[in-house]
Amino acid sequence: MIYDLLIVGAGPAGLSAACHAKKEGLSVLILEQGEFANTVFDYQKKKHVMAEPGVIPLRSGLPFEAGSREEVLRTWHEAARKLQIPINRPELVEEVAKKDTLFQIRSNKATYQARHVILAIGIQGNPNRLGKPGEELPHVTYKMPDPFIYKDLDVILVGAGDAAIEGALALCERNRVCCVINRSPEFYRLKESLDRQIDDKIKAKRVVPYHNAVIERFEPGYTFVSIPDGLVKMKTDLVVIRIGAALPRIFLEKCGVTFTSTVPNALPIISEHYETSVPGLYIIGAAAGYNLIKQGMNQGYEVVEHILGRQIEPVEEPLLKEKLSFLEGTTTMRLDYIARAIPLLAEVQKQHLRELLLQTTVHQVPPWQNVFKENDFTDSLYMILEGEVGITFAQRPGAFPLLFKRGEFFGEVSLLSGRRRSGTVTTVTPATLLEVPRKAVLRLMASEPSVKRLLNETFIARAIRIHLFPARSDFLKDLACRAEIKTFQKDEVIFKEGDVAVAFYLIRSGSVKITKRERDREIVLKYVPAGQYFGERALLNRQDSHRSATVTATTRTELILLRKDDFYLMLETFPEFEKTLRLTMEHRLVENQALQLMDSTGPIHLDELLQEGVFQGTDVLLIDESKCVRCDNCVSACAATHNGQTRLYRDEGVLFGTLKVPTSCRHCENPLCLIDCPPGDAIRRDPRGEVYVVEDRCIGCGNCAANCPYGVIFMMHQKPKTGALGRLLGLIGLASTVTAPEEQPTKAVKCDLCRNDPAGPACVRSCPTGAAFRVSPAEFFNRINVVTDQ
């Protein structure tokens, strides 16, 4: 039999294509090597499945709404059953080859013929393998959809990423032994929340980590592990391997698919109809770089329409038409115009460009209007389609602005560093600006090497110009090409006291601490945030270039590394820069001596402040215990202005002298709580700096609370809203206590700085003695007389 359409993969993208093809009368067959909807099937039980992006409608004969894993799978099973979609599984496709006008599809069970083939294979079905003897034994698995079926076993998790550690956390409570095999010396790649959780389980002896360890082989009931002390034979009932998954590039290239580049994460080259360089062979879904379920489902529908010979607009076409209506011509002509006008987008695939512009906001700005201001908390990228802008810096009053013209971009410094805006951008002429959200840019960088290369080189050149010295563009460009970007994980040492200096460092993102040994103690001399530099002292002392202190990453940190020869070239080319460095160095030496003296005599230790997030915060609530009368007005006022749910716990927190840092949000400059929010925008940052929760968007997943390093986000049942009288009674402690039903889902609750109240935070306003106050880190250190240079 010759099929009209053969689909490889029974995930949502493949099922969507099959449902539409069947309704249109095409003969169709799906070949699936694993489970029905394999990736969703492998989700942990009860996991919430999102239906994003919300702005794009679903165009598919396969129904899909956000819901639990079980609800989604049940709906898809029912749809496939009603349409009698033929699915052969488990059946592994080994080869797809086109001969004349037909495709020959060879699996491990049979050979098929089809006029068209859709590869909807995803990447989760291609897990990275260990390649060790015994890997095929029944107690060794790469999947664990339900960790709670395992009990009283000796368990081994292989891997050190988020998935492996999540598995260890789920398995450790119900089993006898839970070991994690990690080939690296530490857990370097974890989210902050997982890092804390696994540390707690290790301390409680629920999890046993083996670092610098390698699996040698598996035998029934045993695992042989090579550790630094030798080979260990470990009793094992269950082995779960979670070392990631990869696009099956070898298989795709064998099918005739070409890629954007040779880098491992490069994506296939496809047309606007998702057709590969082989006519009639299509790739959709995650294998094409589209990881969202709804995207893959829409693509499946559109490919079938294209096969039927129908002219169908992509589902986002009406949105793009409206967004780009200020340009003339068809959507294709408009996209071509944008790609020609902006060099950053010149080599971007058309489909990726469409996706990027869908998330882009178009601004048509009159002259002499601010686009953003210095120190704003925004991180999007702006591209200049028409017009000209100027950038000014508060630290250079009266200086001529840096001018950027048509085709250039700006905003990449905050985008890549996670810090506040480093300058004020003002339009010089009428301008058309394309504003792209940070996540969209990062996705584009991951899929388009040309974008990543140009953004990195531009960032380095501009960071040197902004934070070090103004220089000619050609000099900076050459310097940027030779510079390196290196990543250091939390607590990883960059260099040690006594090391020979080989480089100068500029912090692109993250932060470091500078420490020095004093007798048997380690003293933290300085915290250095993104945008600042370190490592100049030893290089300036050419007679003795040994490091005088140790520098350690306090979080995941990216550094721009300039080799010693390039550093000396900078000094020779710009002697004024050397003078500036030497003055700064002298100032820091005085500060360091003061800090060493204070650390040895006083109660304030910078390392403790680092741990409590005082450096990372932008608006820290402090309570002067010498003035506090324990009236709890601050707590009551917070509750009264937030429907009876306080965001402040005065009794909890840490004390530095007479100043307490209570349990309340610090509104971090680089807030980890924004990471991994499934809706994408349920927790947000205001340009002024407030981090706040959007109640209607919160699904109660708890990721933000888990990711907060300081434990100041709480998952609570929402109380009924109170009126003005209720809030007034609350301020004097007479509000009624109405509890929320326990069956309601919890929502994230945190301090929002009373952002909708022009009078400011209620906790501060309600304090009768002035004991409660909010300050920036710099103000905090002034109050405790700690010398610091932000």
User: What mean pLDDT do residues 143-171 have?
Assistant: 89
Number of independent structural domains in the chain: 5
Residue 70 pLDDT: 92
Comparison of pLDDT for 147 and 465, the residue scoring more: 147
Residues 192 and 672: beta-carbon distance below 8 Å: yes
Same domain, 305 and 355: no
Cα–Cα distance between 651 and 630 in angstroms, integer?
Answer: 9
pLDDT confidence bin for 680, thresholds 50/70/90:
confident
Residues 490 and 555: beta-carbon distance below 8 Å: yes
pLDDT confidence bin for 785, thresholds 50/70/90:
very low
Comparison of pLDDT for 694 and 471, the residue scoring more: 694
Same domain, 773 and 664: yes
Residue 292 pLDDT: 86
Report which secondary-structure segment, H or E, holds 201.
helix 192-203
Per-residue pLDDT tens for 162-195?
A: 888 988 998 998 999 999 999 887 787 677 677 8
The answer as to whether 788 is a domain residue is: no
Residue 702 pLDDT: 84
Q: Is the pLDDT score of 320 beyond 60?
A: yes
Residues 187 and 198: beta-carbon distance below 8 Å: yes
Burial (CB < 10 A; 0-12, 13-18, 19+), residue 362, is middle
Same domain, 337 and 363: yes
Comparison of pLDDT for 603 and 400, the residue scoring more: 400
pLDDT confidence bin for 740, thresholds 50/70/90:
very low
Domain boundary pick from 576, 601, 626 = 601
Comparison of pLDDT for 736 and 369, the residue scoring more: 369
Q: Is the pLDDT score of 304 beyond 60?
A: yes
Same domain, 112 and 164: no
**H, E, C per residue of 654-680:** EEECCEEEEECCCCECCCHHHCCCCCC
Residue 602 pLDDT: 47
Residues 105 and 117: beta-carbon distance below 8 Å: yes
pLDDT confidence bin for 721, thresholds 50/70/90:
low
The answer as to whether 394 is a domain residue is: yes
Domain boundary pick from 241, 261, 288 = 241
Please count the helices (runs of H) and the strands (runs of E) in the chain. 23, 41
Domain boundary pick from 315, 342, 364 = 315
Enter the DSSP assignment of 367. Answer: T
Residue 708 pLDDT: 84
Q: Is the pLDDT score of 61 beyond 70?
A: yes
Cα–Cα distance between 203 and 198 in angstroms, integer?
Answer: 9
What is the chain's mean pLDDT, rounded?
86
Distances (CA, A) of 697 to 69, 165, 509, 720: 20, 28, 29, 17
The answer as to whether 154 is a domain residue is: yes
Same domain, 725 and 665: yes
Cα–Cα distance between 123 and 180 in angstroms, integer?
Answer: 24
- pTM summary value: 0.72
Burial (CB < 10 A; 0-12, 13-18, 19+), residue 381, is buried
Cα–Cα distance between 782 and 604 in angstroms, integer?
Answer: 13
The answer as to whether 460 is a domain residue is: no
User: What mean pLDDT do residues 637-651 have?
Assistant: 87
pLDDT confidence bin for 726, thresholds 50/70/90:
low
Per-residue pLDDT tens for 741-761?
A: 455 678 899 999 998 888 889
Least confident of 103-117, 368-382, 493-507, 688-702: 688-702
Same domain, 120 and 255: yes
Same domain, 104 and 163: no
User: What mean pLDDT do residues 333-353 have?
Assistant: 93
User: What mean pLDDT do residues 25-30 have?
Assistant: 97
Residue 460 pLDDT: 86
Q: Is the pLDDT score of 58 beyond 80?
A: yes
Residues 216 and 117: beta-carbon distance below 8 Å: no
Residue 45 pLDDT: 78
Same domain, 298 and 344: no
* Residue partners of 544: CB distance under 8 A and separation at least 6: 538
Same domain, 402 and 541: no
User: What mean pLDDT do residues 716-722 have?
Assistant: 65
Comparison of pLDDT for 322 and 678, the residue scoring more: 322
The answer as to whether 456 is a domain residue is: no
User: What mean pLDDT do residues 582-587 have?
Assistant: 76
- Comparing CA positions, the residue from 77, 67, 74, 12 lying closest to residue 39 is 12
Comparison of pLDDT for 643 and 360, the residue scoring more: 360
End-to-end CA distance of the chain: 73
Name 283's bridge partners. Answer: 119
Same domain, 88 and 201: no
**CATH code for the domain of 92:** 3.50.50.60
Long-range contacts of 565-570 (CB under 8 A, 24+ apart): 566/479, 566/482, 566/483, 566/504, 567/503, 567/504, 567/536, 567/539, 568/539, 570/468, 570/469, 570/479
The answer as to whether 106 is a domain residue is: yes
- Amino acid (one-letter) located at 321: K
The answer as to whether 473 is a domain residue is: no
Segments forming the whole domain that contains residue 515: 481-601
Cα–Cα distance between 146 and 781 in angstroms, integer?
Answer: 49
The answer as to whether 20 is a domain residue is: yes
Same domain, 365 and 283: no
pLDDT confidence bin for 42, thresholds 50/70/90:
confident
DSSP 465-522: HHHT----HHHHHHHHHH-EEEEE-TT-EEE-TTPBP-EEEEEEESEEEEEEEETTEE
* Opening angle at CA 530, ends 524 and 535, nearest 5: 60
Q: Is the pLDDT score of 782 beyond 60?
A: no
Residue 613 pLDDT: 64
**CATH code for the domain of 367:** 2.60.120.10
Per-residue pLDDT tens for 243-258?
A: 888 888 999 999 999 9
Distances (CA, A) of 486 to 32, 491, 553, 596, 606: 41, 15, 12, 30, 26
Same domain, 551 and 685: no
Q: Is the pLDDT score of 676 beyond 90?
A: no
Percent of the chain with pLDDT over 70: 90
Residues 44 and 147: beta-carbon distance below 8 Å: yes
Rg (CA), the chain: 29
User: What mean pLDDT do residues 476-499 have?
Assistant: 89
